[in-house]
Amino acid sequence: MGVYDDNKVDAKVKAGGMRIVQKHQSANDAPDKNDKDSKEYETEIPPKLPVVVSGVVTKGDKDFTPAAAQVAHQKPVPAVQKLPPSHHINQHIHQPRK
């Protein structure tokens, strides 16, 4: 019957009991490497679009420096550390009796 062969690579892959779909690229999807015209119009850095915040156009890093943004996202450190609450050994819990 079906004996699993370790040397044979199977196209079916399962993870967590579910089948994983493997997408293979076909020859038609590959771009032409000989097309020089397409490389002439490509830019390395995409142009930055102006962002409007409260009706004012921002100036990028000039308005909000990276250091200011980092400070805004940091959690403040408490000046005095909290001590763990002291537990009373003889605490009486008020519960009705039967």
Please name which of 38, 62, 58, 41 lies closest in space to residue 49, comparing C-alpha atoms: 58
Residue 10 pLDDT: 55
Report d(CA 56, CA 50) in Å as an integer: 10
34's tokens = 């000989």
pLDDT at 88: 63
Note whether 14 and 20 are within 8 A (CB): yes
Output the pLDDT for position 6.
53
Q: Per residue of the chain (98 residues), what is the pLDDT tens digit?
A: 455 555 555 566 777 778 877 777 666 655 555 555 656 666 677 777 777 877 777 777 777 788 888 888 888 888 888 887 776 666 677 888 77
